[in-house]
Amino acid sequence: MPTFLIVFVVLAFVWRISTVVVSTRNERALKASGAREVGGPNSILLALSHLAFYIVATVEGARALDLNLEVSAVGIVIYIVSALALVSVLRSLGRLWTVKIIIDHRQPFVQSGLFRWVRHPNYFLNIIPELVGLALALNAFWTLIVGLPLYCIPLFIRIRQEEAAMSEVIPGYK
């Protein structure tokens, strides 16, 4: 694997770990103020699926004999754009952003940033493109073809759980 892809993978793992640190800090603060978690078992499955996707894509990329560097470049660009989408989501949600569904009855209906145009930008503009970008960067085509649809199962369950929880708590959400 070329050095630039090794650096990319290390930075991708560091980026994801740093977002989990932010999420954990926000989760603790939200729960301390009375917020509750919804869909805990699915959140665990989703987190494990995310980690598995990263690991399997990295292994597949490391084992590839002939990497298409143009595909790698496209994947890195997609990954970077997805990371910028996450930065926008983090700015819009602030302390409300977590990798879990944490619902606070005083939670506002956020409609700023990317939320103006997309109902779930964290999922559709960050996570899915992130995984596509990672797989393409590593030429991990089997991971993309098999892993992404499998990942989407708990992701779509998450979206339904989040929709139900938000509709219950936030006036005008539906």
pLDDT of residue 27: 96
What the block records as the tokens of 65 is 């004999």
pLDDT of residue 34: 93
Asked if the structure places residue 136 within a domain, the reply is yes
Cα–Cα distance between 168 and 117 in angstroms, integer?
A: 22
Cα–Cα distance between 13 and 93 in angstroms, integer?
A: 23
What the block records as the tokens of 8 is 């990319």
- Count of domains in the chain? 1
Amino acid (1-letter code) at residue 74: V
Q: Does the pLDDT at position 111 exceed 90?
A: no
Q: What is the mean pLDDT of residues 10-35?
A: 96
What's the pLDDT tens digit per position in 42-81? 999 999 999 999 999 999 999 998 999 999 999 999 999 9
Asked if the structure places residue 174 within a domain, the reply is no
pLDDT of residue 157: 97
Least Cα distance to 26 among 104, 87, 80, 83 occurs for 104
Asked if the structure places residue 145 within a domain, the reply is yes
Query: What's 9's domain CATH number?
Result: 1.20.120.1630
- pLDDT level of residue 169 (50, 70, 90 thresholds): confident
pLDDT of residue 106: 81
**Residue 37 bridge partners (DSSP):** 102
